[in-house]
């Protein structure tokens, strides 16, 4: 069969690098030729801390991926995380140019340019520009104004921008590793793509990605993105608390957390004990599972407090009918749904990526991808596929804006 378009979805996280090499075939199918996971290096709080270290880790991943997909590294869709992410609304207004007041392509292009003209400080980089709605003579909520008649055409867009050095170092790390960045997507927007339904976005929902050193959120209402934020706290903090609380090594604390932990202490039987020698050969004695759960619960409560405070800031606390959808490795702790429900006063669920439309090359890959930790990378796949077909899809002008930015910063 003739080769389709190859691309790579790459999630460089603080704990792990996850990658899916894909081929968008001519018959419309999307074939995943390799699924790759390895420990990450050089990342801190979701961002590149040491470019050479990250480049080394990404290079290791690319060497493996090239064996199955020789060209995927030439078109990489990568996740950007940033504790300094901001979302803001921008508006463009133009007068319709034709004498008969019919709206043509050039009017739409002018209004888009006007919406983009918002001034962004020099240390910020626009990652997404998402068209929210057009307004024709005051009539709101128009998705496509082409051919409509009116005097005044307005466009409301959402701009997502991050700390510009974060973009530069991530690009540099990927390029040093021999990869080419085709698109950069703010992590929770990618995760939202693979786990949220249209109905949830219409009703109002918050996606909460609990990673290793960062937690990030994306809020949707009326089918539109309304807010994004990120906080420098995640699963690593939980593990450290367990290590300190039990005086065990971080490795033992990680195993205890993942195998015996819970974010709902009261659901853990009071008599259950954990033999420490089972997780750390040097450790002696036993600890009550409930005590461990209390430590874990306190940190998860803090994580959700950050989320709640952010929702309060935008007037959505306790007011999102489709509730919270949790992704990232941190969403795999027992009791997380009840903890989120209690802290956020919202319905909650864990987001499992919908991979039903993907064709996997090997057995076991699909089961691996159906994991909240894979939400981001599977969302990047959807983004990558759409980019090839229709650059102005739901992702807005993310890639166009980013291209400009690369041209500007990387001649
Ligand atoms: N079963 C589990 N229970 C609790 N926590 C878990 C479980 N499995 C994984 N984790 C935690 O998930 C975290 C890793 O999640 P993930 O892979 O989403 O992070 P990352 O993408 O590498 O990091 P970040 O998004 O912060 O850059 C680790 O802190 C790990 O301890
Ligand atoms: Mg992550």
Domain end call among 309, 324, 349: 349
Domain end call among 301, 323, 349: 349
- Atom index in ligand 1 nearest the CA of residue 11 equals 21
Ligand positioned closest to the Cα atom of 44: 1
| 335 shares its domain with 382 | no
Residue with CA at minimum distance from ligand 1 atom 17: 329
| 244 shares its domain with 343 | yes
What residues contact 67, with CB distance under 8 A and at least 6 apart? 34
| 250 shares its domain with 345 | yes
pLDDT digits (tens, 9 = 90+) for 139-170: 999 999 999 999 999 999 999 999 999 999 99
Look at residue 376 in the predicted model and tell me its pLDDT.
97
Using the predicted structure, report yes or no on whether residue 341 has a pLDDT greater than 70: yes
Give the span between the Cα atoms of 211 and 235, in whole angstroms.
6
Look at residue 394 in the predicted model and tell me its pLDDT.
41
- Structure confidence at residue 399 as a pLDDT band (50, 70, 90): very low
Domain extent for 18: 5-83+164-189+353-409
Using the predicted structure, report yes or no on whether residue 340 has a pLDDT greater than 70: yes
- Residue 214, in any domain of the structure: no
Ligand 2 centroid distance, CA of 380 (Å): 12
Residue with CA at minimum distance from ligand 1 atom 25: 211
Mean pLDDT, the chain, integer? 91
Look at residue 1 in the predicted model and tell me its pLDDT.
53
Pairing, β 358-360 against β 30-39 = parallel
- Residue 172, in any domain of the structure: yes
pLDDT digits (tens, 9 = 90+) for 192-209: 999 999 999 999 999 999
| 141 shares its domain with 268 | no
58 or 129: whose pLDDT is higher?
58
Q: In this structure, which residues have their CB less than 5 angstroms from ion ligand 2?
A: 13, 211
- Residue 198, in any domain of the structure: no
| 69 shares its domain with 21 | yes
- Residue 389, in any domain of the structure: yes
DSSP codes, 165-204: HHHHHHHHHHHHTT--EEEEEEHHHHHHHHH--HHHHHH-
Ligand 2 centroid distance, CA of 46 (Å): 7
Ligand positioned closest to the Cα atom of 46: 1
Least confident of 325-329, 346-350, 402-406: 402-406
| 79 shares its domain with 90 | no
| 123 shares its domain with 159 | yes
CATH number, domain containing residue 339: 3.30.420.40
The stretch 352-372 carries a mean pLDDT of 94
Look at residue 207 in the predicted model and tell me its pLDDT.
98
8-state DSSP, 118:
-
Cα 345–347–349 angle (5° rounding)?
Answer: 130
| 74 shares its domain with 184 | yes
| 152 shares its domain with 293 | no
Give the span between the Cα atoms of 323 and 3, in whole angstroms.
42
pLDDT digits (tens, 9 = 90+) for 270-324: 999 999 999 988 888 999 999 999 999 999 999 999 999 999 999 999 999 999 9
Look at residue 134 in the predicted model and tell me its pLDDT.
96
Ligand positioned closest to the Cα atom of 13: 1
Proportion of the chain above pLDDT 90, given as a percent: 83
pLDDT digits (tens, 9 = 90+) for 215-224: 999 999 999 9
How many structural domains is the chain composed of? 3
Residue with CA at minimum distance from ligand 1 atom 9: 329
| 171 shares its domain with 156 | no
Residues 309-348 as b/e (b if ≥16 CB within 10 A, e otherwise) read ebbeeeebbeebebbbbbbbbbbbbbbbbebbbbbbebeb
| 43 shares its domain with 182 | yes
- Residue 199, in any domain of the structure: no
Look at residue 401 in the predicted model and tell me its pLDDT.
39
The structure's pTM equals 0.91
Ligand 2 centroid distance, CA of 212 (Å): 7
DSSP codes, 2-59: ---EEEEEEEE-SSEEEEEEEEE-TTS-EEEEEEEEEE--SEETTEES-HHHHHHHHH
Substitution candidate for ligand 1 out of 241, 329, 371 with most atoms within 8 A of CB: 329
Whole-angstrom Cα Rg for the chain: 22
- As for ligand 1, residues whose beta carbon falls within 6 Å of it are 13-16, 40, 46, 81, 211-214, 234-236, 239, 254, 257-258, 261, 328-330, 332-333, 373
Proportion of the chain above pLDDT 70, given as a percent: 94
- Atom index in ligand 1 nearest the CA of residue 40 equals 22
- Residue 270, in any domain of the structure: yes
Look at residue 389 in the predicted model and tell me its pLDDT.
61
- Residue 223, in any domain of the structure: no
- Residue 47, in any domain of the structure: yes
pLDDT digits (tens, 9 = 90+) for 58-116: 999 999 999 999 999 999 999 998 778 999 899 999 999 999 999 999 999 999 889 88
| 266 shares its domain with 322 | yes
Residues 108-138 as b/e (b if ≥16 CB within 10 A, e otherwise) read bebbbebbbebeeeeebbbbbbbbbbbbbee
Ligand 1 centroid distance, CA of 94 (Å): 47
Ligand 2 centroid distance, CA of 216 (Å): 9
Look at residue 262 in the predicted model and tell me its pLDDT.
98
Domain end call among 300, 333, 349: 349
Using the predicted structure, report yes or no on whether residue 332 has a pLDDT greater than 80: yes
189 or 403: whose pLDDT is higher?
189
Which stretch of DSSP H or E encloses residue 216? strand 215-221
Substitution candidate for ligand 1 out of 212, 216, 237, 258 with most atoms within 8 A of CB: 212
């Amino acid at each position: 069969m003739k080769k389709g378009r190859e691309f790579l979805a790459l999630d460089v996280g603080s704990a792990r690098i996850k990658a899916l090499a894909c081929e968008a075939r001519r018959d419309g199918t999307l074939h995943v030729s390799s699924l790759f996971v390895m420990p990450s290096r050089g990342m801190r709080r979701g961002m590149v801390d040491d470019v050479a270290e990250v480049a080394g880790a990404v290079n290791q991943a690319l060497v493996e991926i090239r064996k199955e997909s020789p060209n995927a590294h030439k078109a990489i869709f990568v996740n950007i995380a940033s504790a300094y992410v901001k979302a803001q609304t921008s508006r463009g207004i133009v007068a319709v140019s034709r004498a008969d007041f019919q709206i043509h392509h050039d009017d739409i292009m002018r209004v888009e340019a006007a919406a983009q003209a918002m001034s962004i400080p020099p240390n910020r980089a626009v990652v997404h520009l998402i068209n929210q709605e057009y307004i024709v003579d005051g009539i709101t909520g128009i998705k496509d104004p082409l051919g409509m008649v009116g005097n005044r055409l307005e466009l409301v867009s959402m701009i997502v921008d991050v700390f510009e050095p974060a973009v530069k170092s991530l690009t540099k790390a990927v390029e040093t590793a021999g990869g080419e960045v085709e698109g950069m997507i703010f992590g929770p927007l990618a995760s939202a793509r693979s786990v949220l339904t249209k109905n949830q976005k219409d009703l109002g929902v918050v996606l909460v990605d609990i990673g290793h050193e960062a937690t990030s959120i994306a809020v949707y209402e009326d089918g539109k993105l309304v807010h994004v934020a990120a906080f420098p706290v995640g699963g690593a903090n939980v593990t450290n608390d367990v290590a300190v609380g039990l005086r065990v090594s971080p490795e033992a604390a990680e195993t205890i957390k993942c195998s015996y932990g819970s974010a709902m202490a009261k659901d853990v039987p009071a008599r259950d004990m954990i033999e420490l020698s089972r997780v750390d050969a040097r450790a002696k004695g036993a600890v009550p599972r409930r005590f461990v759960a209390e430590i874990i619960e306190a940190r998860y409560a803090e994580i959700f407090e950050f989320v709640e405070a952010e929702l309060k800031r935008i007037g959505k606390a306790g007011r999102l009918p489709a509730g919270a959808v949790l992704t990232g490795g941190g969403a795999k702790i027992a009791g997380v749904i009840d903890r989120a429900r209690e802290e956020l006063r919202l319905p909650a669920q864990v987001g499992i990526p919908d991979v039903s439309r993907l064709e996997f090359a090997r057995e076991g890959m699909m089961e691996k991808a159906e994991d909240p930790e894979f939400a981001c990378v599977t969302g990047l796949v959807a983004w990558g596929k759409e980019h090839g077909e229709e650059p102005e899809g739901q992702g807005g002008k993310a890639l166009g804006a980013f291209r400009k930015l690369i041209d500007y910063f990387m001649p």
